[in-house]
């Protein structure tokens, strides 16, 4: 049963709970409707600077898309900046480019040309809007540049309306003394929250009926309680769980989401527990450096994991033993992503995993790590992760990774970077990801590239993840990139 036929079995024309932003079917709570109306008013009244914050997965990017759709027919010229790892002059160049202006040699020239453009549009009665998503990644200097842009005004109106969108740590940054001038210019601060329990049933009905259910699908009140406990009202987690539930309904020809179905879906999404712990305030690093080094996703901004895709120096290829051929051994529980220390001794030729594994003192995992550590270059670490049960197929041979077994589980370890690469490398890797998705038939080669976090690329990546047993988030992670680069996957 294909993905499309699963939804068709339930009488749906499309996925009602997609992994990517869906502004076309936007659900307004009373509080959200009020905030949205105020944001639109601030922009149309040319009041200047608006702030939108919320935790990961609460729908910030979806609200931005809805906002841009709303303003589309109101003479609004917008620039949308998604890549906030661009800083200072590079950020200004990106803003100029999105407004259709040529780049300049200096910040002063850039500000002068941008001011001329904004004045001309203002005199024509147009609105100029700059939206910066995932703004928590911006440096203090870049935020100071935003303040300078906010100062562009004529008479009693601002020439440029600015919407900063980010996670709660953006509020912490703006609270620092050096940014007090920027914070004082905020005319509206909207904070997104998760859905309340009494809103979940209405949200379910709204989404499935917008996808064509026409009242044929429903959710039990007890299932609503279980869903809220598991997701805490986080929209991204709600979509992950309910999408799995639709698979269950399609397989049983059912029409009612039950508590048991919710529980099975949650159990099938191990990453959900980690996200829930984060939302509940567990000890997860929230400072910018820690997020970058961990390679974690921040909303819809490019993560540094993509910078490692296909850009490391390639070693001579060698056959890789399948997991079934490696001796199994019990190992101690370890984190999913393990960082191995660099080997200080000179690099020597690594012994094959099979040969090292024959030693009773070395586990298959450690044998694999030793092989990779010997090949690690400065700035690289060894990552390891369990493979989903249905990940199979042939893998392109490479010395950059190796597979091993832990009991009945199949694992993979690989070399990856432990720091952020230059933005140019990330852009090159983005193009490689898109080319790979196109070669698999998951992304239309006739469509222009929409940036890694554009909706079309995100949907294609989500389809790839779903085909390979991963959570279809449409977002980058190390294991997804490993499969993209090394598995011989044909179009489906």
Report pLDDT digits (tens) over 67-103: 999 998 888 999 999 877 777 788 888 899 999 998 8
Between CA 310 and CA 153 the distance in angstroms is 45
Between CA 371 and CA 387 the distance in angstroms is 19
Q: What is the mean pLDDT of residues 39-57?
A: 93
Looking at residue 19, the DSSP 8-state letter turns out to be S
Query: How many C-beta atoms surround the C-beta of residue 365 within 10 A?
Result: 23
Model confidence pLDDT, tens digit, residues 331-359: 333 333 333 333 333 333 334 444 434 44
SS3 content of the chain, % helix, strand, coil (to 5): 45, 15, 40
CA angle 450, 454, 460 (to 5 degrees): 95
| Of 104-108, 121-125, 167-171, minimum mean pLDDT range | 104-108
pLDDT score for 34: 93
Angle formed by the axes of helices 140-150 and 107-123, nearest 10°: 30
418 pLDDT more than 60:
no
CA angle 230, 233, 239 (to 5 degrees): 80
27 pLDDT more than 80:
yes
Which residue has tokens 């397989």?
Answer: 251
Prediction pTM value: 0.57
pLDDT score for 151: 83
Between the alpha carbon of residue 117 and those of residues 120, 145, 147, 195, the distances in Å are 5, 17, 18, 41
pLDDT score for 352: 44
Q: Does residue 233 contact residue 193 with C-beta atoms inside 8 Å?
A: yes
Sign of the C-alpha dihedral computed for residues 24, 29, 32 and 36 taken in this order: positive
Question: Up-side HSE of residue 455: CA atoms within 13 Å toward CB?
Answer: 10
Between CA 45 and CA 163 the distance in angstroms is 14
Query: How many C-beta atoms surround the C-beta of residue 231 within 10 A?
Result: 26
pLDDT score for 156: 73
According to DSSP, the β-strands at 409-417 and 401-406 are antiparallel
360 pLDDT more than 80:
no
Domain map (residue ranges) of the chain? 3-11+195-268, 30-191, 312-417
pLDDT score for 32: 93
Instruction: State whether residue 389 is helix, strand or coil.
Output: coil
Tokens of 452: 């890694």
Torsion of CA 199, 202, 203, 207, to 10 degrees: 180
Q: Does residue 365 contact residue 338 with C-beta atoms inside 8 Å?
A: no
pLDDT score for 467: 77
pLDDT score for 49: 92
**Among the CATH numbers 3.30.930.10, 3.30.470.10, 3.40.50.300, 3.90.1720.10, which is that of 30-191?**
3.40.50.300
Q: Any idea which fold 3-11+195-268 has?
A: Helicase, Ruva Protein; domain 3 (1.10.8)
Between CA 442 and CA 458 the distance in angstroms is 10
């Amino acid at each position: 049963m294909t993905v499309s036929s699963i939804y068709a079995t339930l009488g749906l024309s499309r996925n009602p709970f997609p992994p990517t932003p869906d502004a076309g079917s936007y659900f307004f709570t009373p509080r959200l409707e009020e905030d949205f109306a105020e944001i639109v008013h601030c922009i149309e009244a040319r009041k200047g600077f608006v702030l939108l914050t919320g935790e990961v997965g609460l729908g910030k990017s979806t609200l931005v898309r809805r906002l841009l759709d709303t303003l589309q027919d109101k003479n609004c010229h917008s620039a949308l900046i998604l890549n906030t790892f661009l800083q200072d002059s590079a950020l200004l160049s990106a803003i100029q480019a999105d407004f259709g202006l040529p780049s300049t040699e200096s910040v002063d020239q850039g500000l002068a040309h941008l001011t001329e453009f904004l004045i001309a549009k203002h005199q024509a009665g147009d609105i100029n809007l700059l939206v910066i998503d995932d703004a928590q990644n911006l440096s203090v200097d870049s935020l100071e540049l935003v303040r300078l842009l906010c100062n562009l005004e004529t008479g009693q109106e601002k020439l440029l309306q600015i919407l900063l969108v980010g996670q709660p740590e953006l509020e912490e940054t703006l609270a620092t003394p050096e940014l007090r001038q920027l914070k004082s210019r905020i005319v509206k601060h909207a904070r997104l929250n998760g859905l309340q329990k009494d809103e979940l049933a209405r949200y379910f009905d709204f989404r499935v009926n917008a996808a064509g259910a026409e009242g044929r699908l429903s959710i039990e009140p007890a299932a609503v309680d279980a869903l809220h406990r598991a997701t805490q009202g986080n929209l991204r987690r709600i979509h992950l769980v309910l999408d799995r539930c639709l698979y269950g309904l399609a397989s049983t020809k059912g029409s009612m989401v039950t508590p048991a179905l919710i529980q099975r879906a949650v159990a099938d999404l191990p990453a959900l527990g980690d996200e829930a712990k984060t939302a509940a305030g567990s000890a997860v690093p929230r400072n910018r450096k820690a997020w970058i080094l961990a390679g974690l996703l921040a909303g819809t901004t490019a993560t540094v994991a993509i910078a490692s895709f296909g850009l490391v120096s390639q070693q001579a290829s060698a056959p890789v033993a399948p997991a079934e051929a490696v001796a199994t051994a019990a190992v101690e529980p370890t984190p999913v992503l393990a960082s191995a220390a660099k080997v200080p001794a000179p690099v020597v030729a690594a012994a094959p995993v099979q040969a090292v594994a024959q030693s009773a003192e070395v586990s298959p995992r450690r044998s694999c790590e030793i092989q990779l550590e010997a090949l690690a270059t400065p700035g690289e670490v060894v990552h390891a992760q369990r493979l989903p049960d249905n990940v199979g197929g042939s893998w392109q041979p490479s010395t950059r990774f190796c597979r091993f077994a832990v009991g009945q589980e199949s694992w993979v370890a690989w070399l990856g970077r432990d720091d952020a690469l230059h933005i140019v490398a990330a852009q090159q890797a983005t193009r490689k990801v898109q080319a790979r998705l196109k070669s698999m038939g998951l992304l239309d080669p006739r469509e222009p590239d929409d940036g890694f976090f554009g909706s079309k690329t995100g949907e294609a990546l989500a389809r790839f993840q779903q085909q390979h047993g991963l959570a279809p988030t449409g977002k980058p992670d190390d294991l997804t990139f490993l499969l993209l680069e090394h598995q011989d996957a044909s179009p489906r």
